[in-house]
Chains A and B, each alone.
Chain A
Amino acid sequence: AQTVTQSQPEMSVQEAETVTLSCTYDTSESNYYLFWYKQPPSRQMILVIRQEAYKQQNATENRFSVNFQKAAKSFSLKISDSQLGDTAMYFCVSWAGSARQLTFGSGTQLTVLP
């Protein structure tokens, strides 16, 4: 079984600043993937970034980067130069090789303040 824990229900950041969202996970699988999805007020679930567990290099996508600490089972998301459009619920998600099921964390509501 997999579990994903997001301990920050809500966060806020000033526009143009940097913010880090925390996530820890647990899995017994050796082959797994980790994702961050965001869900803005439109409710569309949008992929932000993806990390393959077998890769040591942290994934980056423009202003978004992750800090993947495999031994600690930690997977945080850093958003640089925050923009108003980044306001959304952010979900940390895992996928393990033996199942097709994504396991979602409870989410962190991020508000970017002007």
Chain B
Amino acid sequence: ETGVTQTPRHLVMGMTNKKSLKCEQHLGHNAMYWYKQSAKKPLELMFVYSLEERVENNSVPSRFSPECPNSSHLFLHLHTLQPEDSALYLCASSQDSGGHYTQYFGPGTRLTVL
């Protein structure tokens, strides 16, 4: 595997379900990000982890819970979501030093909340 991978690619869940999105980066980066992309809206940054520490949380509802167990893996735990949470969730990684701030994205998870 190369680059940034995300699983699952598609997820349908009910409002009472609990599920998790997984992101893995194979680039040796030290920072990882979760973004939400809804139709007709700009890309929204949700969370940032740098060196496995959460450094950014952009007023995201508590029904979204991130976890970064190591620098290669990032999870987004979902519970009691709402239909308006249906969106494409993108993970990205970057090397957060030395001028290399370019973010590389995974293919995304298309989430549908019924």
Q: Which residues of A contact B (CB under 8 A)?
A: 33, 35, 37, 42-47, 50, 52, 91, 95, 100-102, 104-106
Contact = CB atoms under 8 A, between A and B. Distances in A.
B66 interface: no
Interface in B44-93: 45, 48, 50, 55-56, 88, 90, 92
B31 A100 contact: yes
Contacts of B96: 100
A42 B103 contact: no
A101 B105 CA distance: 14
Is the contact region of chain B dominated by helix, strand, or loop, or is it mixed? strand
B43 A100 contact: no
A46 B103 contact: no
Is the contact region of chain A dominated by helix, strand, or loop, or is it mixed? strand
B32 to A, nearest CB: 11
B42 A101 contact: no
Interface of B: 31, 33, 42-43, 45, 48, 50, 55-56, 88, 90, 92, 94, 96, 99, 101-108, 110
Contacts of B94: 100
Contact of B110 (A43, A91, A95, A100): A43
23 contacts: A33-B101, A33-B102, A35-B102, A43-B108, A43-B110, A44-B106, A44-B107, A45-B90, A45-B92, A45-B105, A47-B104, A52-B99, A91-B43, A100-B33, A100-B55, A100-B94, A100-B96, A100-B101, A101-B45, A101-B48, A101-B56, A102-B103, A105-B42
A104 B102 contact: no
A43 B104 CA distance: 13
